[in-house]
Amino acid sequence: MGHDLELTLEKIAGLINGTVAGNGGCIISGMNSLDNAKEGDIAFYNDSRYREQAFATKASALIVAEKLEGYAGDQILVANPKLAYARLAAMFAPKAPRYEGISKDACIDETAVVGSGVSIYPFAFVGKNAVIGDNAILFPGVFIGNNAKVGSNSVLHPNVAVYENCIIGANVIIHAGCVIGSDGFGYVQSDEGNVKVPQLGNVMIDDDVEIGANSTIDRAANGTTHIKRGVKIDNLVQVAHNVVIGEHSIVVALSGISGSVNVGKNVIIGGQVGIKDHISIGDRAIVGSAAGVHKSIAEGEAVLGNPEMPPRLWMETRAFIRKLPELNKKVRELEKRLKEVEEK
C-alpha cells in the first residue's frame, strides 16, 4: 500500500513507545503484511509460526516484542506489538474521502444547523432542526431525522439512518446500513391481536463510538437507549430498547441484546451471544461466543455456553456431551443385566 506519509524509524519508535534496533534514520512510507511488504514498508511480527515469512519479507523494518536474532533488517522493539501496530496503522490509514462541501443534490431542511467544514454527499437527507457538527461527513443515502444531532468529526457511511431526536456524539464512525433509533420491539397481546406500544424515547451515542455495518440500535420506550463513550460494536448486532452499554465495551458480530439490559464498562461480548432482557452484565465481564445469557453476570465474571456457566464447567459439560452415546449404551446394557438378575 502506498502512502504520502514518510517517517523515520526513530520517529515511529517515539510514537509507539518503542526502541530501535538498527538504523533509526531508515525512512518508512507504508505498512503491509510480511508477505506483501516491499522496501520502505514496516511489517508486524508477533507469532513464531510466521518466522519464515519474517526472514523472507522485503519490508525495511519489523515491529516485534523481542529482537528477532538473525534478521538482517531494522526492528522496533515494543512491549505490546498489537497495540503498537494499531496506533501506527491509524497514522498510515487513508482518511474517509470527503465531498467538497454540501452537494446540491443533498436535501437539507432550511431549519437544520450545519457546522463548518461539513462534507455532505449527493442524496443525503437532513431533517428539520437537525444539527450537523463541524467537519462531519454524511455519505450518499444517509438519513438524519428531525431534531437529530450528529457531532463534530463523525462519519456516517452510506445508507445510515438516524431517526428523529437521536443524538450522535463527536468522532463517531457508523458504517453502512446501520439504523439508529428504529422502534423498540414492544407489543401487548389482546383479543384484537398485538397492540403496539409506542416507543417515545431516543438513542444517545457518546463520543468515540464505532458501529459496524448493518447493526441496529432501537430507541427507548421511554428515556434513552445509551451507548457510552468508546464502545465498539461489530457488524450485524441488535441492541434493543432501553439498553445501556458502558464505556469502552465491545460487542462482536451477530449478538443480540434484549431490552433494558445494563452492560457495564470494559465488557467483552463475543460473537452470536444472546442476552435476556432486564438483566445486568458487570464491569469487565467476558461473555464467550455463542453464549445464551439468562441471568445477571457479576463484575469481572467470565461465562460460556447456553445457559451461561463458568468456563471450566462449560468445558467439562461439553466433554460429557461427546460421551453421551457411549454412556447411554452402557446404561442400557446395565439395565438389561439388572433385569436378568431380578428375573432369576
Catalytic site residue from 157, 175, 241, 294? 241
Instruction: Judge contact between 305 and 317, C-beta under 8 A.
Output: yes
pLDDT in tens, the chain (344 residues): 445 689 999 999 999 999 999 999 999 999 999 999 999 999 999 999 999 999 999 999 999 999 999 998 999 999 999 999 999 999 999 899 999 999 999 999 999 999 999 999 999 999 999 999 999 999 999 999 999 999 999 999 999 999 999 999 999 999 999 999 999 999 999 999 999 999 999 999 999 999 999 999 999 999 999 999 999 999 999 999 999 999 999 999 999 999 999 999 999 999 999 999 999 999 999 999 999 999 999 999 999 999 999 999 988 888 888 889 999 999 999 999 998 888 87
Closest CA to 137 of 124, 120, 151: 120
Q: Is 241 helix (H, G, I), strand (E, B) or coil?
A: coil
The residue ranges of every structural domain in the chain are 7-92, 107-303, 313-344
Tens digit of each residue's pLDDT (9 = 90 or more) over 57-81: 999 999 999 999 999 899 999 999 9
Instruction: Judge contact between 308 and 292, C-beta under 8 A.
Output: yes
| 337 alpha-carbon distance from chain centroid | 57
Tens digit of each residue's pLDDT (9 = 90 or more) over 24-56: 999 999 999 999 999 999 999 999 999 999 999
Domain 7-92 matching CATH 2.115.10.20: the answer reads no
Q: How far is CA 142 from CA 108, 124, 158, 178, 212, in A?
A: 11, 5, 6, 10, 15
Instruction: Judge contact between 75 and 67, C-beta under 8 A.
Output: yes
pTM of the full structure: 0.91
175 is annotated as an active-site residue: no
Q: Which CATH number fits domain 107-303: 2.160.10.10, 3.65.10.10, 3.40.50.10860, 3.90.1170.50?
A: 2.160.10.10
Task: Count CB-CB contacts under 10 A for residue 336.
Answer: 10
Q: How far is CA 95 from CA 72, 91, 259, 267, in A?
A: 33, 9, 35, 29
* Alpha helices by DSSP H, 63-123: 81-92
Cell of 116: 463548518
Cell of 53: 515469512
Q: How far apart are CA 167 and CA 181, in angstroms?
A: 9
Instruction: Judge contact between 258 and 202, C-beta under 8 A.
Output: no
User: Nearest 5°: phi and psi at 155?
Assistant: -125, 120
Sign of the dihedral through C-alpha 181, 182, 186, 187: positive
